[in-house]
Amino acid sequence: MEATPEGHPARARLSNNLGNRLSNRYERTGNNQDLEAAISRLTVEVDATPGDHPDHAELLNSLWNHWSSRYERTGNMHDLEAAIARSTAAVEATPEGHPARPHRANNLGEYLSKRYIRIGNLQDLEAAIALSTAAVDATPDDHPGRAGLWNSLGNRLGNRYHRAGNLPDLEAAISGSEEAVEATPEGHPDRALRLINLGKHFSYRYERTGNLQDL
């Protein structure tokens, strides 16, 4: 990295790789200095990389991941707001049809959902649902990431059901969770959690309707 001069076309990607390695070490050891170094390095690199650079969106995507990791650690709203701002920029910098756009859009929805849970602004939840819906619609049926997108959409629809009590939201949450489970193979590490999510939605419908088949 040190041998690559400022302005070199490969510097952005090398800096991104280094930031991700520091973040990986933080996840392994919990050493906050690694996370701070990753954020600091990528912030400088994002600011120095032109918006039309092919790696700009990926740098933004990595940076908001690091901001969100710090939010999870500290609970500081500034970190969540920074993650949302960088994630929004990453989505805007990723053209329609790009294979990374659904994942980035869903991740932005994830952090808008976190802000909704934190402060209760329904606009955040509505935006998160719209992003998740668009991500699912843009992802082929056989894509390995589609199950996770369905799971996210189901959870966000479930949150709106709890807010407004609208039964169609709960029905849609159940459908989304069923899609997620069906698309997740036996033995997959996320299958159990997705089954739990589906079970929760069925239990909420039982509480609402009294239908024993749901229980």
Instruction: Give pLDDT tens digits for 77-129.
Output: 998 998 898 889 889 988 899 998 999 999 999 999 999 999 999 999 999 99
Q: Is the pLDDT of residue 4 over 90?
A: no
pTM of the full predicted structure? 0.81
Cα–Cα–Cα angle for 19, 56, 100, nearest 5°?
Answer: 90
102-215 CATH: 1.25.40.10
Confidence class for position 72, pLDDT limits 50, 70, 90 = confident
143-198 residue pLDDT tens: 999 999 999 999 999 999 999 999 999 999 999 999 999 999 999 999 999 999 99
Q: What is the DSSP string of 22-85?
A: HHHHHHHH--HHHHHHHHHHHHHHHHHS-TTSTTHHHHHHHHHHHHHHHHHHH--HHHHHHHHH
pLDDT at 13: 64
Domain layout of the chain by residue ranges: 1-93, 102-215
CATH architecture assigned to 1-93? Alpha Horseshoe (1.25)
- Which of 133, 134, 179, 189 minimizes the C-alpha distance to 156? 133
1-93 and 102-215 agree in CATH topology: yes
